[in-house]
Amino acid sequence: MNTNPNHLSDQHSLAKSFLYHISPGVLVTLFFVALKPVLGRTAYPPLLAFLFAILLIDLPFMLGVLFVEGKKLNNRFSLEGVILYRRKVSWKIFVPVFLGAFVVVYLLIMAASPLSAYLRAGIFSNLPDWIFLDEQSQYAPYTRSVLIAVFTLQLILTGLVLPWVEELYFRGFLLPRISHCGNWAPLIGGLFFGCYHIWQLFDFPTVFLLGTVLGYVVWWQKDLRLSISLHVVANLATRLMILLAALAM
């Protein structure tokens, strides 16, 4: 199988790529907003509505697209030729690239934090409090057992499963199909990845930078395992801290 994106004939226009990026995010946001009032009458926080949106909408959408593309390409439900960047670099390359990229991601996110805070307090200040899922004060009314259950589900879904599938979809499937943009492709992919997170546009700078770094790492080394590992570790770290805080209550 040819994993060189420069020889991939199945290219997407930027409009088509943007549509592929934004569609699951729009559907997730609509489902989340629609389900929240229903769960609002229960003993569970709005985060659970978002997790249901990930489980029932986001993951099936992305996996569905990948396997439909595989069916068209291979006449069977296979990801052969759909997911690219399958090169496996040696551990002597993998480890330093992973560590270097992780430091870069951390520094960029720290640098972008003031801008995200400004967006929250300014442009997006009129949004309801429950839309800011990482705002800890909204969880005060809920019992410890409920929070542990919800945060454990969050750890599994958005800490492990979702980043894995997102990397297959965004960096393994979509990124090589805009390789006609040359070295701008990872930057464009990062921009579109930020737009996909429409439910948290107030954190756009952070998500954009994360997606861009992941894109360039994969673009450079052609090894999707790097972005999967980076994305999973980054998500797991934040979700684990939330869960530990709930356990400490």
User: Rounded to 5 degrees, what angle do the CA atoms 135, 39, 25 make?
Assistant: 65
CA–CA distance, 3 with 129 (Å, rounded to integer) = 45
Q: Give 112-123 pLDDT, tens digit per residue.
A: 999 999 999 999
Displacement of CA 154 from its chain's centroid (Å):
13
List the end-to-end C-alpha distance of the chain, in Å, as a whole number. 52
**148, 43 contact by CB (below 8 A):** no
Q: Which of 44-58, 128-142, 218-232 has the lowest mean pLDDT?
A: 128-142
> Domain locations in the chain?
5-247
Please state the rounded mean pLDDT for residues 205-220.
96
Q: What is the pLDDT of residue 8?
A: 66
Integer angstrom CA distances of residue 100 from 109, 138, 214: 14, 35, 12
Q: Which pTM was predicted?
A: 0.93
| Residue 4: pLDDT over 90 | no
- Residue 160: pLDDT band by 50, 70, 90 thresholds? very high
Q: What is the pLDDT of residue 1?
A: 38
